[in-house]
Amino acid sequence: MRRNWFHRLLLSYVPVLILIVCLFVFIGVVQLNDLSRKEALKSSGVYVQNIQSSIDMSLNSIEMMMLETITRNMKLTTFAGMQSDSAFFIELSQLLQNLTATHPWIDSAYLYRAADGTVISDKTKLNVEQFADKPFIDSHLNHPEQDSWSIPRSFRTLKDWNSEGMVISMAKGVPLQSKGIAMLVINVKVGAIQEFLSKYGTSEVNQIAVSDSEGHKIFEQVGKNPKVNDFTYISNYTGWTFTSSLKKEELGNVFNYMKSGWFIVGFLGLLLAIGWIVYITRKNYKPIETIMSRIEKYNQIHKEHPIQGPTVDELSYIDYTLSSIIEVSQEYQNQSLVNQKYRRVQLFHEIVDGSHPLDQAEWHNEMAELSMKQLGSAAVSIIEIDKYLEFISGHSREDQGLFKYILRKVVEETAEAGGVRIWQEWVTNHRLCLIFLEEQPEIRMESTMLSLMDQIRQWMQDNLKLTVTAGLGCTVTEVNTISQSYESAARALDYKSALGSNRVIGHWEIELLSHDDLYVYLQYVRTIAQAFRVGNEGWQEQLRLLFEGLKRLLLPKEEISGILSYMNYYFYREMMELPPEYQELWNREFPTPWDENIDALETLDELEFFYSNTLSSCAKKMEAIRESKGNHGVVQRVKDYLEENFSNPNLSLSGLSDQFHMNPSSLSTLFKEDFGEKFVVYLCQIRMEHAKELLRGTTLSIQDISERVGYLHQMSFIRAFKKMIGTTPGDYRKVHQ
């Protein structure tokens, strides 16, 4: 068909379109330029406010850290109280080193005691007369009301040293309410602040300058000459002045554009476009007039059923006529092309869910398609693809669809060969649901389903190297109770974690299960986590016993997930008792692998293998950290001594300190740093582990066992055992012996 009308319209309106678009693009550029200038002014102010807030927050966090350290750390108060022991000064210096490491901006820190002029820094100890920062100390002592950051100043430790850089300082009295007794001083590197401003305060749109409370420049961006539109903010916290200036614009304003020749050309083009539209519209109206005359002729012929449309204008009337014709055509097509397959799937879901009233007419139609007159009995089976995450990651979408199609065909042909009527649909991406149907009532279908599902499972494994697990539901006699059979089949599948994959699980296998001993096995969680934290290799045996117990209990998937979440939480809580390097190791080595593998771990054997490997790797790295410390040898000898002499009822921290020629306090601190546990609790854990071995492997009385593990009185042993293990020794023996 010739397209004269199309070409005619195209050639008529394209010139107008080009002219109008050019005009509006020109005006749009002018408007966008003005808008961008305003937005740049606004964003410049927000930009400098954000920079100011970031610096204030960082300096405020350092001040809060000082206040918290002075308030909570008794060593500072002890220093103010004239403690002058050399070891104590070393501890103070280490404390100051830790303070300087808390924030990258901190340059140095020192303590000053007015009584004897002692200065303890993060690097050395010296007298105030030797200290190059004595003028700052005197200034603060003479003006104690100054409680803010100082102006930038040069700092050095000794008088004959070169300057160590420009810093700003914050001084706090020790204790906080004291005046002139002692004080803590933190120096922040001005260079670090300048580096921050250079990194985050440099922009192509605006430039930033920062001055202290006395007007001295701290930072200034070097660039183009700024415009006069400056934004100035004064920090309420530091008193610093932050100035932001827009860089010089290259474009003119709207009035300049209006005076330009291009604007005049654009305006003339608009007038020309309007004239052209008037002319071409008059010329091209004739085809519309022809169409209208034909419609009117049609209405005269069909006076009984004319086309009654809107009378606003001719184009609306033509549009209505065409829409009426298209609508009638679509209704006819929709009526003849009803999607029977979609409705069939929807009906299937309504039956197995039991969430909506069943359409009896559709059900009878479905029965007729299955060549059944009535429903005598029915049962549901669910086939689940094992390791579905590996399945979808190892195959393309086309291959996945092919495997699922093959599975449906295998089910269909196997059921047909066995003379069984089934109705199958995918209920999720990895679960295929089958409804077994029988006309005769009171027929138990479990054996037929079991045989059929096992054939399907074996065929998939042998021919496609793909394993599936099937759950079999109970037999019902009414269509409205098929949802109950579906629920029992789904519940049977929930026990795949405990019973294993690549098998058929019947509802009768799980109906008589009892979980009365679950609480006893949960007690392993605490002892496993505690033994792991202190480096006791007994945690591996405890982990094995826990999973053996879970396998015997045959728990569903959601209960197993709950127990493992409980164990992960207990591990996290125990590891948080250790120093930061152990905590960082744990957060790196366990939570991330767990999150990455949890969906792929379907059985208890896979879960046990994951826990054993991951925890063993983490334990080796923890042991490497302990061995890297200089005091690890002493702690290890003490640990070995405790393992050999735990049965001694007189074993105590003071006795150990005499044995190893150490201060009791230092020995306790070493224990806490290496194992995150006090000496008393660690000794109790050793005794309880040996007590559990005696309870499991011997017939000794509770009194004899308590004496063998270092308790003179039976009641003391029972109380300690129940507190540590969560159950009494007698109950523990009943379960594990």
Q: Can you name the residues that pair with 431 across neighbouring β-strands?
A: 384, 428
Residue 531's H or E segment, with its range, is helix 518-533
Candidates 221, 375, 344, 267; CA nearest to 26 is: 267
- For residue 204, how many other CB atoms are within 10 A of its CB? 8
3-state DSSP of 268-334: HHHHHHHHHHHHHHHHHHHHHHHHHHHHHHHHHHCCCCCCCCCCCCHHHHHHHHHHHHHHHHHHHHH
- How many angstroms separate the most distant Cα atoms in the chain? 122
| Both structure tokens of 42 | 């606004």
What three-state secondary structure class fits 180? Answer: coil
Q: How far apart are CA 163 and CA 176, in angstroms?
A: 30
The token pair that represents 393 in the structure block: 């990651």
- Determine how many CB atoms are found less than 10 A away from the CB of residue 263: 17
Q: What is the mean pLDDT of each run of 10 residues along the chain (737 residues)?
A: 50 69 69 71 78 87 86 83 81 85 87 85 83 83 78 82 81 80 87 83 75 81 55 82 69 53 70 74 70 75 66 65 71 59 78 74 71 78 88 86 90 88 87 86 76 90 89 85 87 81 84 55 73 77 81 76 81 79 85 83 85 88 74 70 81 76 72 71 81 85 88 86 82 75
Length of the chain: 737
Burial class from Cβ neighbours inside 10 Å (0-12, 13-18, 19+) for residue 279 reads: exposed
Helices (H), 436-480: 446-464
d(CA 737, CA 545): 13
Q: Give the pairing type, strands 421-428 and 206-211.
A: unpaired
For the question of whether the overall pTM of this predicted structure is more than 0.85, the answer is no
What number of other Cβ atoms are within 10 A of residue 101's Cβ?
10
Q: Cα–Cα distance between 396 and 402 in angstroms, integer?
A: 10
**What is the number of other CB atoms lying within 10 angstroms of the CB of residue 389?**
13
175 cis-preceded (ω within 30 degrees of 0): yes
CA 468 to chain centre: 31
Contact status, residue 707 vs residue 716, Cβ threshold 8 Å: no
Sort 134 into a burial class: Cβ within 10 Å, 0-12 / 13-18 / 19+.
middle
Q: DSSP for 89-124?
A: HHHHHHHHHHHHHT-TTEEEEEEEETTTTEEEESS-
Which residues touch 616 (CB under 8 Å, ≥6 apart)?
540
How many angstroms separate the CA atoms of 316 and 311, rounded? 8
Supply the DSSP symbol for 131.
B
Position 459 scores a pLDDT of 92
What pLDDT, on the 0 to 100 scale, is given for residue 381? 92
Sign of CA dihedral 357, 362, 366, 372: positive
Provide the 8-state DSSP code for 486: H
Residue 317 CA neighbour count, 13 Å, CB half: 18
The CA radius of gyration of the chain, in Å to the nearest whole number, is 42
CA trace torsion 85, 90, 93, 97 (10° rounding): -160
- Please choose, from the candidates 193, 192, 185, 191, the residue with its C-alpha nearest in 3D space to the C-alpha of residue 109: 185
Give per-residue burial for 312-337: e unless 16+ CB within 10 Å, then b.
Answer: eeeeebeebbeeeeeeeeeeeeeeee
31-70 as b/e: b if 16+ CB within 10 A: eeeeeebeebbebbeebbeebbeebeebbeebbeebeebb
Q: How far apart are CA 69 and CA 123, in angstroms?
A: 19
* DSSP structure class, residue 600: G
